[in-house]
Structure formats: C-alpha cells, structure tokens
Amino acid sequence: MSDVARSAGVSYATADRVVNDRGGVADKSVRRVRSAIEQLGYVRNVAAANLSQGRTYRFAFIIPEGSNSFFARVRTVLGESRVRLIPEQIEVQIEGVAAFDAEALAARLRRLAAESLDGVALVGIDDSHVNAEIEALQQQGIAVLTLISDVIGEQRNGYVGVDNIVVGRTAGRLLALAHRGRPGRILPVIGSLSARDHAERLQGMTQTIAAASPDLSLAPLIEGRDRHALVDEKLRAALAADPAITAIYSAGAGNAGLIRVLEDLPPDMPRPTVILHELVAHSRHALEADLIDIVIDQRPEDEIELALGYLRQLADRRPVPAPERIVPVIYVKDNLPPANGVLSEKGEMP
C-alpha cells in the first residue's frame, strides 16, 4: 500500500480509501491510485484489510419453513456452520418464510434490505415481486445468491445447487430402464410449479420419457405443497382412480405421506417403481424396507459450504466465476451411507 501511495503521489490514507472503496477521494486521485495499482500489480490483502478494520461479514439465508424435512436438514447444516464460522468473524442469520409464499419472501427481502448485510442467499420462487426485491438488494451493494431453486432472469449474482433439468432427465432415464420397453404410466408428484427446481425436474423427466420411452405415459400431476398429509390424501385418490400407474416420481417433498400410502398398499397390489429426492430418515427407512427404489440427494452440506464461500468472495469484491453445479448422489438400498445425522420428517434426529 505504501508503494501504491508513493507511486501515485498521494498519502497512504488516500490510497487506502481508494483500494478499500470507501469514497471521499477526488476523481483525479482515484485515477492516479488505480493507475499505480495496475503498474505495480498490487493485489489487495483482504484478510489484512478485514483485520485492520475489525470487519465482520454478515450473511442471511432465507429457508422455507414447514414440515419439509430436507429444509430442516438445510437449517441444521446452517446452524452448525454458524457456530463454526464465529471465530472467522462471519455471522450467519437464518430466516424462515412459508414455503411457496412469494409475497412473504418478497417482504422478507425488503426487510433485509434495511439491515447491514454483505450477502443474502434464498431458495428461489418464480415471481416478479421477488425478482424486484433481489434487484433492489443488489443496487445497495448486497450480493444475492439463489440456493437449491433458482429464479428466472439475471438479477442474482449466482445460483448454487444441482442442475434440476439434468436431475429430472436422470430420473426419467432410470424410470425408462425400470420399464425396459414395457408400457407404463408414471405419476409425477411435486410441491408446486412456482418452485423452479420442481418445475425443471418435471420438465427434464418429461423430456427424457418422451424421447426414450414412447410407451410410457404420464398420469395427472399432483401438487402436494410439500405437505405430507396433502400428498398422502392426493396419492391415495390417484392410485385408486388409476390402477394403470406403474411408477411414481416425487420431485418435491412431503414424501413421508407418500411412504405411508406405499405401506398401506394391499398385498395383492403390485408396488409401483418409486424415485424420490433427498436422503432423510423416512426415505432411508423406505429404501431399507423396499418401499421405494431410488433416492436422488443433492448434498446440502456441499451447497451450504459453496454458498458461504461464494458470498464471502462477492463481499470482498473479488472477480469470481459462476458457482459450480453440485453433482447429486443416487442412493439405492445397497449404497446407503451411515445413518448418523439423517433427519426425520419433522426435522428431529432419529
């Protein structure tokens, strides 16, 4: 920094203000300092700057509330990260909003805009009001990431999660393999079409089925709002009304209700092939009991770690590439990991 100041012909304090983007410097001096930075190849020492300024990073994560056990797992991972990051002067606050409630999400983003935050990560919903609040945050210099589910448009700084269209195509390929060219009927179950991750998984699965297995048809879609009681009710009605169903693809949550329905199937009724998402206690039990066939897990521990690192780089104003896509894990009965840490449907440890 002393070399930069000397080369630019300004005081150390002036060079420091320009490098750390604190304003209050004449344009002529700013140009001279930036020219000196370029000529000297100066690289800002972010750690030293933060230490000297006593800086604490403040990040907020907005996670849907409710009975969705996957998001309970995400909140647990965030809680563990929050404790671990305190010595690194990183504060993580966990905000909750009702699942699929775009109005509540937009209101929460608006409230967070009044706080001194360095970054926000949210589970995206396709809604114009949500997009407008994301843009407002960025105009205030607050970095915004979408996590697990993206939004339409380029308002956010990046998306952290799996490629949900590819995930849906993977499920479609597995369903096609299960039928091996035989005719069949697939029942899709999602939380809501407003959740982009669910809509994209459905899109990917439909594309692959149409291309690879023209003898497979789709039953009417079930939207269960990620509520296991609602999934239970709608699935029982669908199976009773359509005995031709040979497979179920659940692209959302509420799967404890789905599993209860499978447990109650009459002994003489063939069980459909079942693929669902996220390894939690009830999906693990269902795999072990041969009630379902495959679980596709998006590794939330890795998603949170990647999101925190990316938010920190954005807060430091470092040029960073778009986050890497998370590669999901496909679990069957035979390759399950140890059960420690897997949450129940209500977010409780088994």
CATH of the domain at 69: 3.40.50.2300
Note the pLDDT of residue 20: 72
Q: How far apart are CA 252 and CA 277, in angstroms?
A: 7
Same domain? For 88 and 156 the reply is: yes
Pick out the chain residues at pLDDT < 70.
22, 44-55, 340-350
Same domain? For 140 and 37 the reply is: no
Q: How far apart are CA 189 and CA 224, in angstroms?
A: 7
3-state secondary structure of 92: strand
Chain segment 306-324, per-residue pLDDT in tens: 999 999 999 988 877 888 8
Same domain? For 153 and 244 the reply is: no
Same domain? For 6 and 59 the reply is: no
Same domain? For 175 and 255 the reply is: yes
Which residues 6+ apart lie within 8 Å of 225 measured at CB?
Answer: 99, 100, 191, 192, 254
Same domain? For 64 and 181 the reply is: no
- CATH number, domain at 28? 1.10.260.40
Would you say 273 and 178 are in contact if contact means Cβ atoms under 8 Å apart? Answer: yes
Note the pLDDT of residue 344: 43
Domain-embedded: residue 177: yes
Domain-embedded: residue 195: yes
Note the pLDDT of residue 17: 81
Residue/partner pairs of 104-113 with CB below 8 Å, 24 or more apart: 105/62, 105/130, 106/130, 106/132, 106/133, 108/62, 109/62, 109/133, 109/134, 109/136, 109/137, 110/136, 112/60, 112/62, 112/137, 112/142, 113/137, 113/140, 113/142
Domain-embedded: residue 185: yes
Distances (CA, A) of 83 to 1, 265, 342, 346: 34, 44, 20, 23
Note the pLDDT of residue 37: 86
Domain-embedded: residue 329: no
Which residues constitute the domain of residue 112? 54-162+300-319
Would you say 320 and 310 are in contact if contact means Cβ atoms under 8 Å apart? Answer: yes
Same domain? For 178 and 107 the reply is: no
Q: At what angle do helices 102-112 and 128-139 cross, to 10 degrees?
A: 10
Q: How far apart are CA 311 and CA 117, in angstroms?
A: 11
Structure tokens at 263: 């447990």
Note the pLDDT of residue 45: 61
Note the pLDDT of residue 345: 44
Its sign, for the CA torsion 91, 95, 100, 104, is: negative
Domain-embedded: residue 116: yes
Neighbouring CB atoms inside 10 A of 44's CB total 16
Q: How far apart are CA 156 and CA 162, in angstroms?
A: 16
Same domain? For 125 and 138 the reply is: yes
Note the pLDDT of residue 348: 39
Same domain? For 134 and 223 the reply is: no
Note the pLDDT of residue 159: 95
